[in-house]
Amino acid sequence: MKNTLIIISCLISAYCLTGCGSKDDDQTNDIFKQGKIDPNLIPNQVGYVPVFPYFTNFINPVDVFVGYDEMVYVIDDNGLNILDQTGKRAAIIPIPGAVEVTQDRRLQVYVAGRVVFEGKERAAVYRLTNTASGNYSFVDTLMHPFNDQSRAFNGYRFEDGVDNLVQFTGLATLHDNTLYVARTGPRNDPNSFVRPDNGVLVFDAAGTNIGYSVGLNPNNSSLRSAVGLTGIATYSAPPQRLQGMSTSKSFMLTQGIQERQIEYRSLVINVFDDPELGTQYAETPTFLNFDRSKANRFLYESFRFKKPEDCFIAPDNLGYMFVVDSETDSLYVFTPQGFEGVNPPANSGLTKQVNVSFGGKGKDGSSAGPFSFNNPSGVCYYRQMIFVADKNNNRICRFMLSTDLE
């Protein structure tokens, strides 16, 4: 109960700094609802605690992202849902086939979906501005295959039965508003004059295609592969920070394809610029260091995941990495070194990372309990809080680490 009172007090204080209202108005009531913690669900040592209320009234939510503007963006069957921090829905923007959302530091929002152009259905990324103001507008649309330089400038023509199967499955931005777009599709001949469908396209802030994840294997599993991508995350994420944003170009990805046997379904790709060779996309072999004096499980364990759908990297000093898996209905948490778990509390006597991954159907088998998921498809992290798009439960779940409540 002490922890509950602390959270409510902090929220009331934050509200008073931005303006006062009567005890009976809707905004005040929302603040008392925000961050409600059930003390009976707080673990004895270290673990995640559900933060109520969960956000509901969605239809198959598949992605969630908390933006630099502090709005909560949710993708479901209706398109792009825009919510405030209390879960109050501000707007719904219909976007065909929407599956992913992110935002850059200019507060421009990107949504991966579909578009019909010249009678052909194509993968597309919509770019929007002023989404939080209610007076949004579309800036432009990146369309397959025109958004790929290797196809746009080689006399390439759209092919039915091939190009209509291409999908954009992940979006992430860098500190300078560079956009990464994860792409999947059937054409993956490494000797072709066009780039393989499986990989990551790179765009500058103006929307120009300036690169591609050269060297990532589009067909076979390895420590440097991009087979059936389902998610991508960078080290740059909200909120804005006084000490500066990470300038790393590296990223984390998930490979959820079920038609292939993938040994390492979640990878961290080390991206760096070589003065002679240009941008390089390299493996991170240090994650194969299974130091069992520090953890019991690891990100790079063979076949650790079944069907990972999304990933996220916390941009704070702890840098935890999160993966949601729809086959195991679980959320997994790792350190920046790839150790599964979080740091043990000071003076706890614990010497290993504390495994706080959770999920599954729960004791009642319903998959609808506060610690259960049913086809989790999206994850993000914002100010010590994890948001999970729990698709088949039609909700956005929120969690905080118990040690962050004190």
- What confidence category does residue 243 fall into, taking pLDDT thresholds of 50, 70 and 90? confident
Phi, psi (deg, nearest 5) at residue 149: -55, -35
What is the rounded CA–CA span in Å between residue 185 and residue 163? 8
What is the rounded CA–CA span in Å between residue 263 and residue 303? 5
Q: Would the pLDDT of 174 be above 80?
A: yes
Q: Which helix (H) or strand (E) holds 127?
A: strand 120-129
What is the rounded CA–CA span in Å between residue 257 and residue 78? 25
3-state secondary structure of 11: helix
CA-nearest of 117, 127, 75, 130 to 97 is 75
Share of the chain above pLDDT 90, in %: 79
| pTM across the whole model | 0.91
The single-letter code of the amino acid at 223 is L
Q: Where are the beta strands (DSSP E) in 144-291?
A: 167-173, 179-184, 199-203, 209-212, 229-234, 251-255, 266-274, 278-282
What is the rounded CA–CA span in Å between residue 348 and residue 344? 7
Q: Would the pLDDT of 396 be above 50?
A: yes
Other CB atoms within 10 Å distance of the CB of residue 247: 10
What is the rounded CA–CA span in Å between residue 252 and residue 257? 16
pLDDT winner (highest mean) among 29-43, 105-119, 155-169 = 105-119
Q: What is the mean pLDDT of residues 207-228?
A: 97
- Which pLDDT does position 103 carry in this prediction? 98
Q: Would the pLDDT of 2 be above 50?
A: no
Q: Would the pLDDT of 5 be above 70?
A: no
Q: What is the mean pLDDT of residues 171-196?
A: 96
Least reliable range by pLDDT among 13-17, 78-82, 225-229, 385-389: 13-17
What is the rounded CA–CA span in Å between residue 222 and residue 285? 11
Q: Would the pLDDT of 212 be above 50?
A: yes
Tell me the pLDDT tens digit for each residue of 271-280: 999 999 999 9
Tell me the pLDDT tens digit for each residue of 328-384: 999 999 999 999 999 998 888 888 999 999 999 877 778 999 999 999 999 999 999
**Burial (CB count within 10 angstroms: exposed 0-12, middle 13-18, buried 19+), residue 107:** middle
